[in-house]
Amino acid sequence: MLGQRIKKTRTKLNMSQVELAKRVGISSNRLSEIESGKGNPNKSLLIAIEQLFNISPDWLETGEGEMFINENKTEKEVGIDREQLKKIAIEVENILDENNAAMPIDKKMEMIFYIYDDEKENGCGNIKSIVEKLLKFVA
């Protein structure tokens, strides 16, 4: 069951429901519903869990294979710098908190990947100024 695998991921990461929910942009009540099988996660939530915590999409969706992806293999195959992606995700979350800005997980992930792609193409920028500019469009 998908909800049980999300719970297993959370416990393996030593996170509470509140902590995981905050990191992926949903309420702890919603996470509780998903983990107990009373609700289903959307694709954006699954992608957030996979990307932020290096979780295998196959394992998360089917239970087959290993829970965690070998980071070096993934970076080499897909070209994703997971550490940079995590850094951006944490900074975006902190800036949203500072601005008391709520954002649906799918929009938050779009913002994180937009910033990631922009930094990859144009070099390091000021993440805070980028997020604050983008917040003007969603406010």
Q: With respect to CATH, is domain 2-69 assigned 1.10.260.40?
A: yes
* CB 111, CB 131: distance < 8 Å: yes
With CA atoms as reference, report the closest residue to 51 among 74, 28, 26, 21.
74
Q: How many whole angstroms separate alpha carbon 25 and alpha carbon 45? A: 8
pLDDT, tens digit, 9 for 90 and up, residues 5-48: 999 999 998 999 999 998 888 899 999 999 999 999 988 788 88
Residue with the bigger pLDDT between 74 and 42: it is: 42
> In this predicted structure, what is the pLDDT of residue 74?
43
Q: How many whole angstroms separate alpha carbon 60 and alpha carbon 125? A: 33
> In this predicted structure, what is the pLDDT of residue 79?
60
Beta bridge mates, 68: 55
Q: How many whole angstroms separate alpha carbon 74 and alpha carbon 18? A: 28
Domain boundaries along the sequence of the chain: 2-69, 77-138
pLDDT, tens digit, 9 for 90 and up, residues 86-118: 788 888 888 888 888 878 777 787 788 888 878
Average pLDDT for 53-67: 89
Task: Tell me the whole-structure pTM to 2 decimals.
Answer: 0.58
